[in-house]
């Protein structure tokens, strides 16, 4: 004879049991604490206690729930970011370096002054 499952079946992913009451609950109450790391205390059957430190991995990024709808896994996020990286222009020479190059052409950097530079001084 087949065993009957005691688990409640859900027809809608958003439905919860009626006996759960979240009145007065605060959304995201422990978010910041979890981001900085936390400790789990595990009580063993033999009476010993094990402490486990849990910290986010270096470079871990947490996605907001609305973003998570579009990017369900790391690969989809990385693919989207790589396509954005291609749109960013390569670094150009800074204004300072271009100005130094102009001074070199005018002879200012070598101690020579052009006629217009001598008049300003």
Cα separation, 102 vs 20, in Å, equals 73
Is 5 a residue whose pLDDT tops 80? no
What does the pLDDT look like over 42-101, one tens digit per residue?
Answer: 999 999 999 998 887 788 887 888 998 999 888 999 999 999 999 988 876 555 555 566
Q: Provide the pLDDT for residue 75.
A: 92
Is 119 a residue whose pLDDT tops 70? no
**In contact, 77 and 60? CB cutoff 8 Å:** no
């Amino acid at each position: 004879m087949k065993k009957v499952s005691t688990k409640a079946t859900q027809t809608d992913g958003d439905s919860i049991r009626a006996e759960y009451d979240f009145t007065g609950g605060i959304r995201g109450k422990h978010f910041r604490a979890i981001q900085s790391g936390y400790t789990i205390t595990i009580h063993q059957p033999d009476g010993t206690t094990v402490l486990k430190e849990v910290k986010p991995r270096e470079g871990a990024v947490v996605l907001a729930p609305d973003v998570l709808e579009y990017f369900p896994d790391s690969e989809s996020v990385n693919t989207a970011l790589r396509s954005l990286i291609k749109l960013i222009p390569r670094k150009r020479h800074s204004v300072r370096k271009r100005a130094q190059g102009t001074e070199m052409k005018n002879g200012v950097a070598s101690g020579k002054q052009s006629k217009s530079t001598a008049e300003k001084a």
